[in-house]
Amino acid sequence: MTPRISGVLATASLAALLAAPAAQADTWSDIQEQGFVRAATANEVPYGFTKADGSAAGIGPEVAEAVFKSMGIDEVNWTVTPFGTLIPGLKAKRFTVTAAEQNIQPDRCAQVAFSEPNSSYGEGLLVKKGNPKDLHTYADIAKDPSLKVAVVNGANNVDYLRAVGVDDSQIVYIKDNADALATVKSRVDAYAATELTVANLAKDQDDVEQVDPFTDPVVDGKPVRNYGAFAFRKDDEKLLAAFNKALLAFHETDAYRDILSHYGLSDQSIAAVGEVDIADLCQGD
């Protein structure tokens, strides 16, 4: 039976999250003994989300459940929490692993221990129908100081916007991906997110669309490509080592490729996962 997600943290503020007493840290031996692991995801399709029956789905949760099952852990107890509280919640010991395909970047690596990469994806923009501001890259927003762009609080898209010249006064922060549609329709010119996030938001919508064609931002002379991974606490070294071994083995299966392709990742993006390693990504290479 698929475990249901707890909604306890879905509406909790970051302050409340950190104010709560920390739970006892789970080690790999603890998890093996108790037979379950506590995991968190953000409600963002297709990386991790809640289905109608209350179960977890998406790239992160589905790969995580398959990997833990191969490790002998059949039960994953899920919590859904805003994206910006994933790392603080992990550090506060609210859960043991995050499965939201968070982009691996040096500032996050300083706080948590990431697994080897699990997915790869580019950037995108959600705009009003017809793309009235004729936006085709993040740099286009920087050209007009009157333009406003929304981004999820805690998401690294803001770094790419700043890197191409978008001023902080142009950036509007929203709580999570679910707020993007209303925000674009009412008070901003675009929403910056990953390509798959934007594609899923635009699907079957009459008032908004995904920018196409879109050119990924160029930062430090290279087009931006994100690499998503699972995050653990830095002191859970044995758990991370066991998970990485099982994760890399799962990457060699058709089941892994089926999950990623089901959620829209191209063969090129799936292949890109195996072309980098965590050490290089954490160094910003």
Q: What percent of the chain has pLDDT over 70?
A: 91
Residue 5 forms part of a structural domain: no
Q: Do residue 20 and residue 116 come from a single domain?
A: yes
Question: Which pLDDT belongs to residue 24?
Answer: 45
Question: Which pLDDT belongs to residue 12?
Answer: 42
As given in the structure block, the two tokens for residue 75 are: 């039960």
How far apart are alpha carbons 56 and 204 in whole angstroms?
A: 23
Give the CATH number of the domain where residue 173 resides.
Answer: 3.40.190.10
How far apart are alpha carbons 99 and 128 in whole angstroms?
A: 30
pLDDT score of 10 more than 80: no
What is the mean pLDDT of the segment spanning 243-249? Answer: 98
Residue 154 forms part of a structural domain: yes
Cα–Cα distances (Å) from 137 to 73, 141, 257, 275, in that order, read: 43, 8, 29, 26
Q: Which of 207, 223, 239 is the last residue of a domain?
A: 223
Question: Which pLDDT belongs to residue 21?
Answer: 41
Q: Do residue 231 and residue 116 come from a single domain?
A: yes
Torsion sign, CA atoms 151, 199, 68, 51: positive
Question: Which pLDDT belongs to residue 5?
Answer: 55
How far apart are alpha carbons 285 and 184 in whole angstroms?
A: 33
User: How far apart are the two ends of the chain, measured CA to CA in Å?
Assistant: 41
Cα–Cα distances (Å) from 112 to 59, 92, 150, in that order, read: 20, 11, 26
What is the mean pLDDT of the segment spanning 265-279? Answer: 90
User: Comparing 267 with 153, which gets the higher pLDDT?
Assistant: 153
What is the mean pLDDT of the segment spanning 104-116? Answer: 96
Q: Do residue 28 and residue 157 come from a single domain?
A: no
Q: Do residue 163 and residue 218 come from a single domain?
A: yes
How far apart are alpha carbons 110 and 112 in whole angstroms?
A: 6
Q: Which of 183, 208, 223 is the last residue of a domain?
A: 223
Residue 235 forms part of a structural domain: yes
pLDDT band at 265 (very low <50, low <70, confident <90, very high): confident
Q: Do residue 52 and residue 105 come from a single domain?
A: yes
For 42-73, what is each residue's pLDDT tens digit? 988 899 998 989 899 999 999 999 999 999 99
Total structural domains in the chain? Answer: 2
pLDDT score of 194 more than 80: yes
Q: Do residue 23 and residue 86 come from a single domain?
A: yes
pLDDT band at 76 (very low <50, low <70, confident <90, very high): very high
Residue 214 forms part of a structural domain: yes
Q: Do residue 86 and residue 206 come from a single domain?
A: no
As given in the structure block, the two tokens for residue 273 are: 């996962």
Give Cβ neighbours of residue 1 (< 8 Å, ≥ 6 apart). Answer: none
Q: If 0-12 CB within 10 Å is exposed, 13-18 middle and 19+ buried, where does residue 36 land?
A: middle
How far apart are alpha carbons 127 and 133 in whole angstroms?
A: 9
Question: Which pLDDT belongs to residue 16?
Answer: 44
Q: Do residue 20 and residue 86 come from a single domain?
A: yes
Residue 60 forms part of a structural domain: yes
Question: Which pLDDT belongs to residue 268?
Answer: 81
Q: Which of 173, 194, 223 is the last residue of a domain?
A: 223
Domain residues for 177?
Answer: 123-223
pLDDT score of 19 more than 60: no
pLDDT band at 122 (very low <50, low <70, confident <90, very high): confident
How far apart are alpha carbons 49 and 45 in whole angstroms?
A: 6
Q: What is the rounded average pLDDT for all residues in the chain?
A: 90
Give percent helix, percent strand, percent coil of the chain, each to the nearest 5. 35, 25, 40
pLDDT score of 91 more than 80: yes
